[in-house]
Structure 1
């Protein structure tokens, strides 16, 4: 089974990822990524594989993993074949150790958590009261604003730094053989999107940058990013729009064009899709007139 590098979409105005996975089953293949990851299963049962460790998961399963550790959650057949009475549901939190600055993990207050991170290269299932407390925090994070969400994440860090309620998963021998290089495809793709999202970016242009045919690029992007290229690009643009809307000197039309949307109707449609409110409503939540 070949492990692939895969990414979740990150909002432009967020320093880390909080993602809810809801569907008939968990679609993610055997994969790895450079972020630390915390996975909380709210609904679904099945098998999970972390490195060379295979176990059964149930509702409430909470696992923390270090960068580049291959893993997969495979729902039971009743979910895969649409026979379950409810959909699979999970919350995923991802971050890199420098998300608050390159020296953040080196400050004295982070010493305990930094030691905990060293163990995460093998992956670990979190248990007991620690799991209960982290579950409560993660389920509250989705609707939170930026600072509230960051505060919740730091509270999770504190719980992990002080806990002994965990079981290591992958064997040391497996971890020593993990490939720690991120694909050059990702670097080129991400750099170009982040530098040019405010302009028109075509599929042929992106395929050329990735050194792929257009069809190959579309398949690669959907497989590794779990969304289409256009969906990912719109995520970045809407995130940047939120940042611009928080400033007083641009009206909504100007924000739309500044973020790469070529018409206001499309901007409003995409913004509401990702933020569940219109740009005007978003601005009103910030107490602007």
Structure 2
């Protein structure tokens, strides 16, 4: 399923885009664009796909995505068939990284924001009180202009940088630039895994790459990645599997071996654990969304 590159027109007197998407259903196909994007669903239910993640959305769902991350929101059948009691409605905010100038993110005050922007390259679903507050701000931006509108966006940035109420959606391997938000040690570990995940990787190998004893490395990894090395490696591999399922017609078994799985039973178990469905069901879902 090839993603379509989208461009939205920007008003000459505004530095970023805010618009309401309203209709029987959301018409956009599987697509990507160079802007960062907030998508707030005010009315409608259905499935959303962000990178290799497939999940469900309902009213109030809020997702923040970085540039070049393919995504699509697919309404439930009642909306697509015009049988829903109300129209689907969402508010979308688009901005490019340098919308306030090339050196905008070089400001020391924006260092915490840069970390959130890097994380958003995998897509972030925002939850809890943070979601409620940002949703209120985004809906309010529709009637705003000038400095008040810009101030609202910066308030949203500030809320995000002081919150932990968000979860990444796409797997780490889906966007090859995700290693940007790690320190040098994290970069070295992540880069090694991304370069070698298709082969057998032992704990001793990757620990040596990080210049750490194996036991120290295991403890460090679990503390900072919030999962074991093996769990992370499987996440990387399944993310690449999803990309190949979307981009090619290759046999699932061949894809599994190509991505480093030598045991098909383990592959199917890991895929279902991470994606909530079998590889064949995942591919079928992609085909239905692109139909």
Same fold by TM-score greater than 0.5: yes
Matched residue, 2:2: 2
Secondary structure of the residue aligned to 1:160 is helix
1:247-286 equivalences in 2 (<5 Å) = none
Taking a change above 3 Å as real, the CA distance of residues 162 and 177 of structure 1, as seen in their structure-2 partners, is closer
Q: CA deviation at 1:160?
A: 1.0
The alignment status of 1:152 with 2:152, answered yes or no, reads: yes
- For 2:6 and 2:75, the matched residues in 1 are separated by 19
The secondary structure found in structure 1 opposite 2:9 is coil
Whole-angstrom CA distance in 1 between matches of 2:128 and 2:54: 20
Give the equivalent residue in structure 2 for 1:111: 111
Give RMSD over aligned pairs: 1.2
Instruction: Describe the SS at the equivalent of 2:86.
Output: coil
Shift, 1:70, TM fit: 0.1
Q: Which residue of 2 aligns with 1:62?
A: 62
Q: Does 1:175 align with 2:190?
A: no
Structure 1 consecutive aligned stretches of length 4 or more whose deviation exceeds 3 Å: none
Q: Map residues 76-115 of structure 1 onto 2, 5 A cutoff.
A: 76-115=76-115
Runs (5+) with no aligned partner, structure 1: 179-289
Separation in structure 1 between the aligned mates of residue 115 and residue 88 of structure 2, nearest angstrom: 33
Instruction: Note closer, same or farther for the CA distance 1:111–1:177 as it changes in structure 2 (3 Å cut).
Output: closer
CA distance in structure 2 between the partners assigned to 1:9 and 1:105 by the alignment:
23
Structure 1 counterpart SS, 2:117: helix
**2: CA distance, partners of 1:8 / 1:160:** 25
Residue-by-residue CA offset, 1:31-67 (whole Å, 9 max, x unaligned): 0000000000000000000000000100000000000
Q: CA deviation at 1:177?
A: 8.6
- With the length of structure 2 as denominator, give the TM-score of the two structures: 0.60
Residue aligned with 1:173, SS: coil
Q: What is aligned with 1:20?
A: 20
Aligned in 2, Cα 1:69/1:104: closer, same or farther, shift over 3 Å?
same
Distance across 2 between alignment mates of 1:147 and 1:51: 34
Give yes or no for the alignment of 1:74 onto 2:74: yes
Alignment of 1:119-198 (within 5 A): 119-176=119-176
Q: Could you state the TM-score of these two structures normalised by the residue count of structure 1?
A: 0.60
Equivalent runs, 1:35-46 vs 2, <5 Å = 35-46=35-46
Spell out, residue by residue over 1:113-138, the C-alpha distance to the aligned partner (whole angstroms, 9 max, x if none). 11111111100100011101100100
Gaps of 5+ in 2: 179-291
Q: Per the alignment, in what secondary structure is the counterpart of residue 160 of structure 2?
A: helix
State the shift of 1:9 in Å.
2.0
Match of 2:31 in 1: 31
Aligned-partner SS, 1:21:
strand
The CA deviation at 1:8 is 2.0
Deviations for 1:216-241, whole angstroms, at most 9, x for unmatched residues?
A: xxxxxxxxxxxxxxxxxxxxxxxxxx
